[in-house]
Amino acid sequence: MTPPPLKRQAIIPRIDGIQRDLEKLRPLSDLSPSAFALEDNFIKAQFYLRRVLEGVFHIGSHVLSRIPGGRPTEYKEIAVKLGELGLVDREFATSRLKRMAGYRNRLTHFYADVTPSELHGVTRDHLGDVEQFLHAIRALLEHPERYHLTVE
């Protein structure tokens, strides 16, 4: 049985949204710790990073939904399965992508515990992880046949 195709209209707008939000995050990540900690900057960074991470895992979930047995039940599982199936580098998946899933949960459920210093470090040091994920997804869209998938 052929799996359903990946839907370009479900992936491309999210990639574009992630890129826009990364563009908003980069100037914030370049701020000094004291400027980043100002309420408006801190709140903006939380908002944009949470949207970026939601986009990453929405894309991951969509891709996995097209693979028999690929439907995950939680965000960290999305990360691990993407690596197991070779859709992203396995080491990247089990370390950085899985950590992104955990941070998405932290921003969503434990937002009151997130400190400006912690969030500043994440935005300063880990936005490249999102770029690495996007690179893998773009490669998947260019060559879905490598994964026995199609795109519509």
pLDDT interval class at 3 (50, 70, 90):
confident
C-alpha–C-alpha distance, residues 46 and 43, integer Å: 5
In the predicted model, what is the mean pLDDT of residues 138-149?
A: 95
Statement: residue 72 has pLDDT above 90: no
What is the domain partition of the chain in residue ranges? 8-141
Amino acid at 3: P
pLDDT value at residue 58 = 96
| Residue 1 clears pLDDT 90, i.e. is over it | no
Superfamily per CATH, domain 8-141 = bsu32300-like (1.20.120.580)
Q: 1, exposed or middle or buried, with CB in 10 Å at 0-12, 13-18, 19+?
A: exposed
Q: Cα–chain-centroid distance for residue 97? A: 7
Mean of the pLDDT values across residues 73-80? 94
Entry pTM: 0.95
User: Tokens 């908002």, residue?
Assistant: 47
How much of the chain exceeds pLDDT 90, in percent?
92
**pLDDT of the residue at 55:** 98
User: pLDDT tens for residues 29-47?
Assistant: 999 999 999 999 999 999 9
A 10 A CB-CB count for 52 gives 27
3-state secondary structure of 151: strand
Tokens 């991951």 belong to 60
The answer to whether residues 56 and 100 touch, using CB atoms and an 8 Å cutoff, is: yes
Average pLDDT taken over every residue of the chain: 96
Neighbours of 13 (CB within 10 A): 11
